[in-house]
Amino acid sequence: MTTISLVAGNCGRGRGYEDGRFEFRSNLYLGKDFLASDLFNNNPFRRRANGCLSKALKGFENGNGRRFRVIARVKKGKKHDYPWPDNIDLDIKDGHLTYLSHFKPLAEKPKPVTLPFEKPLVDLEKKIIEVCRMADETGLDFTDQIGALENKYQQALKDLYTHLTPIQRLAIARHPNRPTALDHILNITEKWVELHGDRAGYDDPAMVTGIGTMDGKSYMFIGQQKGRNTKENIFRNFAMPTPHGYRKALRMMKYADHHGLPIITFVDTPGAYADLKSEELGQGEAIAHNLRTMFGLKVPIVTVVVGEGGSGGALAIACPNKLFMLENSVLYVASPEACAAILWKSSQAAPKAAEKLRITAQEHYKRKIADGIIPEPLGGAHADPVWTSQQIRLAITQAMDELTKMDTEELLRHRMLKFRSIGGFQEGKPVEPERKRNMKPSDASMLNAADIESDLEKLKKNILEAKVPSDPITDQAIEKLKQDVDNEVTRAFISMGLQEKLESLKLELSRASDNQTLNRNLKVKVDKLMQEFKQNLSRPGAYLGLKQKLEKLSMVSRLIEQKEKGEKLKAEINQKIPSEIKEKLEQLETAQVNLSKADPLDEDLVAEAVKAKKELIEVLKSANLEIVGVAKRKAAAELQEKIVNVKKEIDGEIERVIDVAGLHGKIEELKAEMAIDSSSPKVEKLQAEIKEGIRTALGDTALKQKVENLRREFATSSEEVIDDKVIAENGRW
């Protein structure tokens, strides 16, 4: 039945024209037998600009004899309601049904993408291209040079990819040109049919499912699909499935279990899609349902992590009998960026978080989470996707040959024991007590301020009191401080995200010969890296622990430098002082000691001391030193006399306080108790009461002020009071 849509307005309210026509609009649907001949055979319609056909119909007149005009619009429908063609080849031998899949070959080849740590390789590639271009332009033979550069490139590539850090492997796993799940499926299967829909909502393109054959055997394939460009990534939702995707995978698992098809899953997702709509539709319930169901499936299950596997979004299709990981794939409970933002309040600490999370295939294989590591070519899976796919196929077929020999009970028990063996426990060892950790970056490496001050004062005292600049204990403390600073700097480079640049510079430096001077480009890179490091370090409140240690190390260096200069100057002065003056100086020191004991001074000794003082000044002047001040000391006898007088005053005041406060009784009682048992609690109590009484009575007296004045005077007399400073040509002192 052909359907034509006649579009009109309100039946009672139309639009009048000057020639008596009246046009109304309403929704009418006319069949083939209704005005069919009048509408199609006579074809009296006039085509309007908007694609509608109109005609004044006979028999449709109003009371004034005016005719109605009906506007008819022909709706264009799809040729097929389903994507498959009219004539389907049921005897397809190989290949996949392209009309059942949205995955098509790319019109343009993906652009090469260089990761940050691969920049040294780019320089070598440019040199090779430049030499090849020169060979083509000049016609000269550069075969040896090109071969040497290619060998150097291959060696650098091998060195780089055999010592990858966890964050570098994560970058390779996220590479835009890395083969996707459908790339591997189409490379390893002879026939492939993609299946769609979860029979409950819609078809989630982030989760692909279908049936494929390998070596004549049928398997159910399930995988998370990333896009190969921006348009595909938006369509695939960046491989983050919604609840419909997990329910689609669940439906296919039950289908495979019912028909006895082994299941192969490919994990490549940053995680489940965590938007509001997905949570409303039961994202957590869908993942949990998949986990519960997978442990009860009676067919073999093999999982291959081909990219990154994030949290429960990956685990929802990764509860297998055998788990394999590509060499540069990762599997984590939280992305390093999210982990760094939680623990260190900054996503720049992602390299440190990636190292602590143990996300690489090597770490998972070591902990028996992964059952095997599938090798990749140098440069990553995107360097040779077909070879990588064949390695995946080899691992899958070997695992399936082993699993298909098990009966149902053995298969279920094998899957259960795999997950029960993950992790471990220890018995007979004490449990570490709970510790409170402040995980902010500013406080993670910051020491206690009091500890820093005490360590610094102790180290300063050791340096100043050392007889020689080099002291074993002091050198050991300084060496430990330098090691702490080096470790803090390394951690700061990692948290700033500069570790890759640093490793790249180290690689370039290692290739340069020892006698070769640094070229200008390398110097510019080093200066730029250090400038970026200092800029990040100078942020307020950031890396306080490192800043404190750097200040401490700087102060220690200044003290050592001053100590060395002082020792050097002292040695020079001692060399220039004659032995006769040294003997007189010793006599002068003896006189000072006698003076402190209040002994009478010999007049001859005083005269010798004055003469020695003048000669010493002349010697210092000859050593290019200018004497601008003379040390003055207060007489020790005067101080001794003052101390005796203050002591007498204190004793007399204490006697007076004892009489006034009536403490004689308690003192006699204390003496009696001490004669019986000097360590009894009553003795301690009486002593405390007597001391408190004396302290209270002395609180408001002028004796305290005298003691403080005497203490200040004694401290002043123990130091040299210099009116000005000593100035030398080689520095200030």
* pLDDT value for 719: 44
- The mean of the pLDDT values for the chain is 75
* pLDDT value for 608: 66
SS3 643: helix
Q: Give the N- to C-terminal CA distance of the chain in Å, as an integer.
A: 111
- Identify the residue with better confidence: 239 or 457: 239
At 359-408, the pLDDT tens digits run 999 999 999 999 999 999 988 999 999 999 999 999 999 999 999 999 99
Tokens of 590: 């003896």
Strand pairing category for 727-728 and 372-374: unpaired
E strand intervals along 275-385: 301-310, 322-326, 330-332, 372-374
At 160-189, the pLDDT tens digits run 888 899 999 999 999 999 999 999 999 999
All domains in the chain, ordered by first residue = 118-163 (no CATH), 169-421 (3.90.226.10), 468-511+518-567 (no CATH), 636-717 (no CATH)
E strand intervals along 618-661: 625-626
* pLDDT value for 228: 92
Return the ∠ at Cα 181 (arms to 177 and 187), rounded to 5°.
90
Q: Calculate the dihedral angle through the C-alpha atoms of 179, 183, 187, 188, rounding to the nearest 10 degrees.
A: 90
CA dist., res. 90 & res. 84, Å (int) = 12
At 474-483, the pLDDT tens digits run 666 677 777 7
* pLDDT value for 52: 46
pLDDT beyond 80 at 421 = yes
Could you tell me the pTM of the whole model? 0.53
Number of H helices, E strands in the chain: 27, 19
Listed ranges 90-94, 201-205, 517-521, 706-710; the one with the highest mean pLDDT: 201-205
Residue 14: other Cβ atoms inside 10 A: 19
At 185-240, the pLDDT tens digits run 999 999 999 999 988 888 999 999 999 999 999 999 999 999 999 999 999 999 99
At 690-730, the pLDDT tens digits run 777 776 666 555 566 666 666 666 555 544 433 333 333 33
SS3 506: helix
* pLDDT value for 581: 64
Lowest mean pLDDT among 362-371, 407-416, 672-681: 672-681
Strand partners, 263: 220, 301
Listed ranges 78-82, 86-90, 702-706, 728-732; the one with the highest mean pLDDT: 86-90
* pLDDT value for 140: 80
Lowest mean pLDDT among 75-84, 109-118, 231-240: 75-84
Tokens of 592: 């000072």
* pLDDT value for 621: 64
Residue 136: other Cβ atoms inside 10 A: 10
At 275-333, the pLDDT tens digits run 999 999 999 999 999 999 999 999 999 999 999 999 899 999 999 999 999 999 999 99
pLDDT > 70: percent of the chain? 63
* pLDDT value for 215: 92
* pLDDT value for 497: 75
Residue 325's nearest CA partner among 364, 269, 285 is 364
pLDDT beyond 90 at 684 = no
Residues in the chain, overall count: 733
